[in-house]
Structure 1
Amino acid sequence: MLPFQSNHAIDELLVSYLLGEATEEQQRSALKWISASAENERYFQEFQQIWEKSRELAANSSVDVNAAWERMREKLEKGKNGRKEERKMGRREDGKVVSLAGWWRRAAAILAIVLTGAVSWTIYRQWTNAGWMELASQEATLLQLLPDSSKITLNKGATIEYPKQFARNKRRIKLKGEAFFDVKRKPEQPFEVMVNKLTVTVLGTSFNIRETDSATIVIVESGTVQVSDGNQSIVLNAGEQLIAGNTKKSWTKVQQTDKLYQYYRTRTFNCDRTPLWKLVEVLNEAYDSNIVITNPAIRELPITTVFENQPLEEVLSIISQTLDITITRKDDQIYVE
C-alpha cells in the first residue's frame, strides 16, 4: 500500500483523475492510493472539494488559461530533491502533446489558482450557527470522510449536514439527494440519517439512500438498518429495498435485484434483468442526457449486462443490439422505440 504523501506525482495523478484524462491504469492507481489510508482519503477529499469549487468559479474567471496551467505545472513539479524539470503543457510519455480544450482548460486553470492559494477549499464548507457543517457535491460525485471515519459518497447535486464532532450517544447527519454510506460500527453510538422526514438508524453497515420528488428509497448493501418516520418503523437487511412514498405514506419492501444504484460511485452500470425504463432513467442522470422511450411496449424489457465507464453512444449501441430496438437522435433528444 502506498503511504500518505503530498508530492508532485500524487497531485498530478489526482489532477488527471479529476480531469477525466487518466488512463485505466492511472485510475486504478489513484483509487488504490486514496483507499490506502485515512490520511490519503482526507487529502483527496480536500483536493476534490477544491476541484468542485473551481468548477463553480470557472464561469466567472478572467484568468489567463495557459499561464495559470503552467503555474500549476510548476507547482506540481517542485520539490523532489529540489529539482524542477521543464515540461510542456500536456506532454505525454510518448512525446505527443495533448491540449486541454475548451471547458477543461478553463477548469484546470481555475484549479491552478486554487492550488496556488488564491481560493481556499474551506469556503466550500459552511458553518451554521448550530455548529453544523454543510457539504454539497455540485456537478460530480464526492467522497467524504466523517469525524467517526464513516465514509459517504454523494451523488451529484446531493447535500449533507453533519457536526464537527458527534454527540457521545448518537451520530446524526442530514441528507438531501442521494448518497451511499459505509458506516463505521459503534454499537454504543448509533448512526442516524435524517432524510425527507424519515430517520434511518444503523450501528455499522453500508447502504444507499435516494431522495426523489415522489419517494425516498433505501437500499441495504450490508448489515441491517431501521427506517422510521414517527408513525411506523421497518427493519431492512442486506439485499432489501424500501420505497417510502412521500404523499400516500405507502411503504413497499422488496428485494434489490440489481446493483445499478452503485453507478455514481463505481462508474459501472451493473444490470441484472433491469427494466429498460430504469436503466434509461439512470443514464439520463449520469450523462446529463435526454433519452425518451416513445414505445410503451418496450419500457419493461429486461436487460442483463455491465457497462464500465463507456461513452453514451457505445452504451446506446449495445442496448439497441441487445434488445433489438431502434434508437435515434434528433438535436439534443434521443428516442428509443
Structure 2
Amino acid sequence: MNEEKDHIETLIAKLITNQISDEDRAEVENWCKQSAANQQLYDQYKKLYEIDKDYFIEPDLGLDINSEWKQFQSKITGAKTVEMVPTSTTNWFKVAAAVLLILASTYVVYNFLFKDELILHQTANAKQEFILPDNSKITLYANSSISYSSEFGEKDRAVNLEGEAFFDVERNETQPFVISTGKVRITVLGTSFNVSSTDSHTEVIVSTGLVSLSSNSSAKELQLSAGDAGMLSTNGELIQYKNEDPNFNSWKTGLIQFESTSLKKAIEDLNKVYNSSISISDQVTATCEVTATFDNQPLDSVLKVLTSTLDLTIEQNGQDIEITKAGC
C-alpha cells in the first residue's frame, strides 16, 4: 500500500511540475476519477504548490543549492523526499524543491496547512449507516462513498456523494445541508430522501420535507416535496415527476412490495436489494407478473416463494442465478 501511495505521489509531483510523460499523466487522471478523495488530495497538492511556487525560481549556476535546500527543509517538519531524475541540470533545484513541498507528509499537508481534513466513508458489497456530526443519518448503498470536511457543521454542512444513499437530515434553519454529486447540487434544511448517482444519471426521490435540486450548468432549480422525484437527464435537463416506485428505498428498509409487477422489474428490484446477480432467460415470457410482499426475508426464501407462485425453474452457478423457465 505504501509503495502504491509513493508511486502516485511521485506521478502527481511530476504532473504539477510539468515533468511527466503522456502515459503517466493518463494514470494520474484515471486515479483522480476513481474517487472524490483522490481528486481532493490532488487538488490540495496542486494548491500547495501554487501557494509557494514563486519561491522556486530557476536558479543561476552560482546558486548554493545545498544551502538553499537546507533552508527550505527547515520550513517543514516531517517532510518526505522523493527521488527524481532531473531533465536538466539548470531546473533540478526547482523540480526537487517543488517535489519536496508537494510531497510533504500527509500529517503536514492536512494538519499544518489544510486543517479541514477530508473524512471519507466507503462501502464494499453491503449497505452501511453513518451518523454525521450534526446527527444526520446517512445509509450508503453498496459500493458507494461519501466525503466531507472535518470542519463539517462549523461553517457549512456540505458533503460529496458517489453512488447511492438515503439521507435523513437533521433540521437546521440557519445552515442548509448541501450534497454535491455528479453534475447536480441538492440543498435541504431537514428532510429524508434518496439519491442515486451514476456517470449518466442522477435521481432524487423525496420521502419527507422539501428538497432543492439544481444543475451545475444552469440556473434552473426544482423544488421537490414528499412523493416527488427529480432527475438530471443525459442532455442536462432537470425533470420533475411523481414517484411511482414503492421499492425505491427497499435496499435500505428491506421491505419489498410487488403488485402486478412484471417479473423483469421484480428481479431488478431484488438484485438491488440483495446485491445479487439474478437473470432471466430469453425463453421466459415477458407477461409474467408478481404480487407479493417481502419484509427483510433472506433471498433464498424470496426465490422459493417466487418459484412456487410462478412455477419457475432456477439454475444456479456460484453467485449467478438464472431463471430458465416459468409457468406463467
Q: Indicate whether the TM-score tops 0.5.
A: yes
Moved more, 196-205 or 294-303: 294-303
Instruction: Identify the residue that residue 4 of structure 1 maps to in structure 2.
Output: none
Matched length: 209
Instruction: Identify the residue that residue 243 of structure 2 maps to in structure 1.
Output: 256
Cα distance between partner residues in 2 of 1:201 and 1:181: 12
Instruction: Identify the residue that residue 189 of structure 1 maps to in structure 2.
Output: 175
Report the Cα offset of residue 241 of structure 1. 1.4
Report the Cα offset of residue 326 of structure 1. 3.2
1:242 aligns to 2:230 (yes or no) = yes
One-letter identity of the residue aligned with 1:190: P
Cα distance between partner residues in 2 of 1:300 and 1:180: 32
- Preserved contact between residue 166 and residue 194 of structure 2 (Cα < 8 Å): yes
Instruction: Identify the residue that residue 263 of structure 2 maps to in structure 1.
Output: 276
Cα distance between partner residues in 1 of 2:295 and 2:199: 29
- Preserved contact between residue 258 and residue 271 of structure 1 (Cα < 8 Å): no
- Preserved contact between residue 132 and residue 164 of structure 1 (Cα < 8 Å): yes
Cα distance between partner residues in 1 of 2:209 and 2:260: 24
- Distance change (3 Å), C-alpha of 1:170 and 1:277: farther
- Preserved contact between residue 215 and residue 243 of structure 1 (Cα < 8 Å): yes
- 2:267 is paired with a residue whose SS is helix
- Preserved contact between residue 136 and residue 157 of structure 1 (Cα < 8 Å): yes
1:217 aligns to 2:198 (yes or no) = no
Report the Cα offset of residue 306 of structure 1. 1.8
Cα distance between partner residues in 1 of 2:264 and 2:240: 20
Report the Cα offset of residue 308 of structure 1. 1.9
What TM-score, normalized to structure 2?
A: 0.56
Report the Cα offset of residue 238 of structure 1. 0.3
Report the Cα offset of residue 133 of structure 1. 0.5
Report the Cα offset of residue 273 of structure 1. 4.9
Cα distance between partner residues in 1 of 2:225 and 2:298: 35
- Preserved contact between residue 240 and residue 254 of structure 1 (Cα < 8 Å): yes
Runs of 4+ in 1 over 6 A off after TM superposition: none
One-letter identity of the residue aligned with 2:152: F
**Aligned residues: CA RMSD:** 2.7
- 1:147 is paired with a residue whose SS is coil
- Preserved contact between residue 262 and residue 269 of structure 1 (Cα < 8 Å): no
Gaps of at least 5 residues in structure 1 are: 1-126
1:199 aligns to 2:185 (yes or no) = yes
- Distance change (3 Å), C-alpha of 1:154 and 1:330: closer
Percent identical among aligned pairs is 33
Cα distance between partner residues in 2 of 1:297 and 1:241: 32
- Preserved contact between residue 176 and residue 189 of structure 2 (Cα < 8 Å): yes
Report the Cα offset of residue 284 of structure 1. 2.1
Which structure 2 residues correspond to residues 291-306 of structure 1 after superposition, within 5 A? Answer: 291-295=278-282, 303-306=290-293
Which structure 2 residues correspond to residues 114-129 of structure 1 after superposition, within 5 A? Answer: none
Which structure 2 residues correspond to residues 6-21 of structure 1 after superposition, within 5 A? Answer: none
Instruction: Identify the residue that residue 159 of structure 1 maps to in structure 2.
Output: 145
- 2:248 is paired with a residue whose SS is helix
Cα distance between partner residues in 2 of 1:183 and 1:202: 8
Q: Select 1:233's aligned residue among 221, 231, 243.
A: 221
- Preserved contact between residue 228 and residue 234 of structure 1 (Cα < 8 Å): yes
- Preserved contact between residue 219 and residue 240 of structure 1 (Cα < 8 Å): yes
One-letter identity of the residue aligned with 1:334: E
One-letter identity of the residue aligned with 1:171: R
Which structure 2 residues correspond to residues 115-154 of structure 1 after superposition, within 5 A? Answer: 130-154=116-140
Cα distance between partner residues in 1 of 2:259 and 2:156: 37
Larger radius of gyration: 2
- Distance change (3 Å), C-alpha of 1:208 and 1:288: closer
1:315 aligns to 2:302 (yes or no) = yes
What TM-score, normalized to structure 1?
A: 0.55
- 2:249 is paired with a residue whose SS is helix
Gaps of at least 5 residues in structure 2 are: 1-109
Cα distance between partner residues in 1 of 2:282 and 2:203: 27
Cα distance between partner residues in 2 of 1:155 and 1:261: 12
One-letter identity of the residue aligned with 1:205: T
One-letter identity of the residue aligned with 2:322: I
